[in-house]
Amino acid sequence: MGLEEAALYLHVPFCRSKCPYCDFYSLPLVPERDLLESFLKALKKEVLLRREELKGFRFVTFYVGGGTPSLLPLWFYRDFFGFLRETLAFSPEEATLEANPEGLTLEYLAGLREIFNRLSLGSQSLLNQGLRALGRRHRVREVKEAFRAAREAGFRNISLDFIFGWPGQSLPLLTRELEELRLLGPEHVSYYELTIEEGTPFHRVFERGELSLPPEEEVVRMHEMIDSFLEEAGYEHYEISNFARPGFRCRHNLFYWEARPYLGLGPGAASYLHGRRSKNAEDLRAYLQSLEAGRLPPREEEKLSPEKRFREAVILGLRLLEGIDLAAFKSRFGYEVREYYGPRLEKLRDLGLLELVGGRLRLTRKGRLLANVVFRELV
C-alpha cells in the first residue's frame, strides 16, 4: 500500500518579547546553545517515540512556526532537517519558515534557503503607526529590507502576514498599506482581523475600556477593501484570510483546511493522525523533562467519531472559497451534507450566507464576513 501524504509542523516556543495581542505559546527569551541542544534532542526523541504512529505517512510539507523561528541558528535547522530525512518518509516539496523582520541578515537568509523554499514574514503592517499600535518591535524599513534580502537570498515564494482592525486604523490608512504591499509584490498574503484574546495585555486594557478599536462597520469595509484590492492586484482569494498568486497557495495550510493528516512536534503543537487529534501541553519544561526521561510529553488526545470528523471537515472546508464538494464528502465520510444538516443549512442559504454552486457548498461574500455565525450553526 502506498504512503498517505501528510504535513509536518514544528513549533518553536521562543520570542524576543511578547506582543500584547498574541496568545500563541512562546516564552519571552532568546535561547542559548545549551537550551537549543536540549530542545533539539527532545524533538528527535519525540519523533522516535512516535515512530509507530508515523508509519504509513509521507511528509510532503514542512512548516516551522511559533514563536519566532528566525531566532534559531542555522545549525539547528540543518541538523533537524537531516534527522527527519533519515528517520521518516520526509521529502517536503514545500518547506516554510516563519520569520520576524528584525535582525534578518542576507547571510542567515541564504543559509535558510538551502533548507526552506518558502518564507512567511510577520510584517503585520506596512505603516509604522500600525506597528506601534500593535506593539511590534520592528518598523516598516526592516520589513522592506528583510523582503529584499530574502529575494536576494533566492526566496521566490514569500508570504507576508498582516493584521487589520488595529487601534487607530482607518480606511485611508488601509489603502496606503495596500499600495505599499502591491509595490513589494509577495506571492502570498494573509490578512487576519485583530481579535482580543483572553489573557493578553490587549484584553486587560480592552476590558478597562482603554483600547479603542475601529467601529464594526468600518472593520467590515476593511474586509471588503482588502478582498477587492488584492483580487484586482492578481491574487486568488482562496481562504477567508489568505490570498495567493496562481500556483502559490500554502500547501501546508491546505492540509488543515482539507482535514488531512498532520504531525505537530514541540510544546503546544497539535497533530491529526489516524482520526485522532492530539496536542502537546504548552509547557517547554514539561516537554524537555518528559522526553529526557524517555516519555512522550503531556498531551490531550481525542479520538474523533466518524460523525465528528465529518462535521469538522465541513467547517474547515467552508473556510476555502471554493467550498466543499458534496459528492466527494459523501464518498469520504458517508454523510450527505444537505441531508445531514437539513433545515439548518436551508436557513443559512435563505439568509444569503451559504450557496450551492455546481455541486459545491460555499460561503457567500456575506457569509465570509459572518463566517463565525455559520460555523456556530454547523458545528
Binding site for ligand SF4 (CB under 6 A): 15, 18-19, 22, 24, 26, 66-68, 100, 122
Residue whose cell numbers read 499600535: 133
Nearer to ligand SF4, 26 or 159 (CB): 26
Q: Nearest distance from residue 66's CB to ligand SF4, in Å?
A: 5
**Which residue, 166 or 235, is less far from ligand SF4 as judged by CB?**
166
- Alpha-carbon distance of 314 to 329, in angstroms, equals 8
CB of 96 to ligand SF4, least distance (A): 15
Task: Compare residues 279 and 349 and give the one whose CB is closer to ligand SF4.
Answer: 279
Nearer to ligand SF4, 101 or 323 (CB): 101
The answer for residues whose C-beta is within 8 angstroms of residue 357's C-beta and 6 or more apart is 323
Q: How far is the CB of 215 from ligand SF4 (least distance, A)?
A: 25
Of 66 and 266, CB closest to ligand SF4: 66
Locate all alpha helices (DSSP H) within the chain, ordered by sequence.
33-49, 51-54, 74-87, 106-113, 128-133, 140-152, 171-184, 201-207, 216-232, 251-257, 284-292, 306-318, 326-333, 337-341, 343-350, 365-369, 371-378
Which is closer to ligand SF4, CB of 69 or CB of 261?
69
Give the CA dihedral 159, 267, 201, 166, nearest 10 degrees. Answer: 10
Contact of 317 with 254, CB cutoff 8 Å? no
C-beta neighbour count of 111 within 10 angstroms: 17
- CB of 69 or CB of 317, closer to ligand SF4: 69
Residue 84 pairs in a beta bridge with none
Shortest Cβ 58–ligand SF4 spacing (Å): 29
Q: How many other CB atoms are found less than 10 A from the CB of residue 242?
A: 25
Q: Which residue matches cell numbers 492586484?
A: 233
Least distance from ligand SF4 to the Cβ atom of residue 22, Å? 3
Closest approach, Cβ 25 to ligand SF4, in A, equals: 9
Report the C-alpha gap between 354 and 363 in whole angstroms: 5
Query: Nearest Cα to 80, choosing from 153, 15, 8, 155?
Result: 8
